Amino acid sequence: MNSKIWYPYTQMKNMKEPYEIVDAKGVYLYTKDNKMIDSVSSWWCMIHGYKNPEITEAIKKQADKFSHVMLCNLSHAGALEFADKLASYLPGNLNHVFFSDSGSVSVEVALKMAMQYFVNKGQKREEVLSLTHSYHGDTFKTMEVGDDEDYHFAFSKKENVTHIDTNIEQLEEIFKAKGESFYCMIVEPLLQGAGGMRMYDVSFLQRARELCNEYGVLLIFDEVATGFGRTGNRFVADLVEPDIICLGKALTGGYIGHAATVASDKVYEAFLGDNYETALMHGPTFMGNALAMAAGLKSLEIFERENYLSKIKNIEKIAKRELKDYKNPNLKEVRVLGACIAFEAKNSQKLEGFQDFAYKHGVFARTFLNIQYAMPPYIITEEELVKVINLMKAWWE
Ligand SMILES: *Cc1c(COP(=O)(O)O)cnc(C)c1O
């Protein structure tokens, strides 16, 4: 191994050689001598699959004009149009779009907005309510509100953050005990991804919304992973409306790294004033990047035109059919929600070797913790999906 790349979440001393990708098209990744279905959509973002001609063309067309201009004192049609479109797609009062370059930063911005909302109102609130097993990113504030010792064990300090399970009784108790000390409650709605593909019921979010209203707490949905259809809803925010939503991963169809934090009118208005004191002081260099805006706009257009929600429903239907009554003594649970299929193993060591096994059978897969999963591009065919599911099962036989 003499590469100069420092890989993520990897012990570099004994890293397994990564597969070198030379081409990609549709759901397929190509190495020099293999072709494999990407069952994880390149960390859950590549919803249209690779080399979508329309998105590629939109990026090329924008690159011929300009690839980037700063979004402070300058603006451009792509950013204006994409912000408008997002605001009209998102439910209710989620109308004010702050672009940034990654999901972690979009969560940082959301937390900053929520914190400063109360500062601007002259109220003192210093605590955050979050969920056990939550993951919100790898930057410091997101690690603090997250609850993922498996990722961030080297930095376990959690100041002013309370974690509860997705349990309505615990939720009611914590609000009763200290609801007025929270400036926000932050959740990955319906599906906790990196914390172990944990799925929970919408009734928890409905009750959280009520209690946040009652105690004046801002509700943040981190939909970096769940946004754009993954749970079978375009956004979970379509079911329960948060005060702030974070979008990333699939925002550009996965073609260029970008993210957005979208705030409600109420949050936005608390930042209006006569001087900089109440303004939001944040400004990523690459916010509103023109290539990202072009990709994002085209991605949304295709999502709507090709009725992706029905494709996702179909993926869910096929997965449920293929996994009906499926049990294996090595598995604790099999879960399906939207276009997410997760097998929870009793013993994480039993997953070692699955990646090579999948590779040999023409599938790219990546397990984490004790989870074996598929989050395929929404364009996957029935035959390809069944192949992926059968391979996941075959590992245990
Ligand atoms: C991936 C993810 C993030 C972090 O996004 P990056 O673009 O990797 O910084 C934050 N929140 C959730 C829920 C995620 O799944």
CA distance linking residue 256 with residue 102, whole number of Å = 10
Same domain for 242 and 388, yes or no, is no
Asked which of 244, 277, 305 is the last residue of a domain, the reply is 305
Asked which of 275, 305, 335 is the last residue of a domain, the reply is 305
Same domain for 166 and 36, yes or no, is no
- Indicate which atom in ligand 1 lies nearest the CA of residue 223: 13
Per-residue confidence in pLDDT tens, the chain, 397 aa:
578 999 999 999 999 999 999 999 999 999 999 999 999 999 999 999 999 999 999 999 999 999 999 999 999 999 999 999 999 999 999 999 999 999 999 999 999 999 999 999 999 999 999 999 999 999 999 998 998 777 667 676 677 999 999 999 999 999 999 999 999 999 999 999 999 999 999 999 999 999 999 999 999 999 999 999 999 999 999 999 999 999 999 999 999 999 999 999 999 999 999 999 999 999 999 999 999 999 999 999 999 999 999 999 999 999 999 999 999 999 999 999 999 999 999 999 999 999 999 999 999 999 999 999 999 999 999 999 999 999 999 999 9
Going by CA atoms, what residue is nearest to atom 15 of ligand 1? 225
Asked which of 246, 271, 305 is the last residue of a domain, the reply is 305
**CA distance readout (Å), 34 to 360, 372, 385:** 8, 22, 18
Same domain for 200 and 324, yes or no, is no
Nearest to 136 by CA among 177, 180, 188: 188
> Ligand 1 pocket test: which of 111, 136, 221 has the largest number of ligand atoms within 8 Å of its C-beta?
136
Domain count across the chain: 2
- Indicate which atom in ligand 1 lies nearest the CA of residue 104: 9
Task: Give the CATH number of the domain where residue 106 resides.
Answer: 3.40.640.10
Same domain for 210 and 292, yes or no, is yes
CA distance linking residue 348 with residue 28, whole number of Å = 27
* pTM of model > 0.95: yes
In a domain, 11, yes or no: no
Same domain for 68 and 140, yes or no, is yes
In a domain, 252, yes or no: yes
CA distance linking residue 276 with residue 281, whole number of Å = 8
In a domain, 10, yes or no: no
Going by CA atoms, what residue is nearest to atom 11 of ligand 1? 136
SS (H, E, C) the chain: CCCCCCCCCCCHHHCCCCCCCCEEEECEEECCCCEEEECCHHHHCCCCCECCHHHHHHHHHHHHHCCCCCCCCCCCHHHHHHHHHHHHHCCCCEEEEEEECCHHHHHHHHHHHHHHHHHHCCCCCCEEEEECCCCCCCCHHHHHHCCCHHHHCCCCCCCCEEEECCCHHHHHHHHHHHHHHEEEEEECCCEECCCCCEECCHHHHHHHHHHHHHHCCEEEEECCCCCCCCCCCCCHHHCCCCCEEEECHHHHCCCCCCEEEEEEHHHHHCCCCCCHHHCCCCCCCCCCCHHHHHHHHHHHHHHHHCCHHHHHHHHHHHHHHHHCCCCCCCEEEEEEECCEEEEEECCHHHHCCHHHHHHHCCEECCCECCEEEECCCCCCCHHHHHHHHHHHHHCCC
Task: Give the CATH number of the domain where residue 27 resides.
Answer: 3.90.1150.10
Same domain for 83 and 226, yes or no, is yes
Same domain for 290 and 323, yes or no, is no
Reading the block at residue 204, the tokens are 């928890």
In a domain, 13, yes or no: no
Dist. CA 79 → ligand 1 center (Å): 22
pLDDT in tens, 258-295: 999 999 999 999 999 999 999 999 999 999 999 999 99
In a domain, 2, yes or no: no
In a domain, 6, yes or no: no
Range of the domain at 130: 56-305
Q: Kindly list the protein residues whose Cβ atom lies closer than 6 A to any atom of ligand 1.
A: 102-104, 107, 135-137, 188, 193-194, 222, 224-225, 248-249
In a domain, 14, yes or no: no
Same domain for 153 and 260, yes or no, is yes
Same domain for 222 and 366, yes or no, is no
Same domain for 191 and 288, yes or no, is yes
Same domain for 235 and 364, yes or no, is no
Same domain for 156 and 261, yes or no, is yes
pLDDT in tens, 368-383: 999 999 999 999 999 9
- Indicate which atom in ligand 1 lies nearest the CA of residue 105: 9
CA distance linking residue 355 with residue 13, whole number of Å = 19
Give the active site residues: 9, 135, 222, 249
In a domain, 217, yes or no: yes
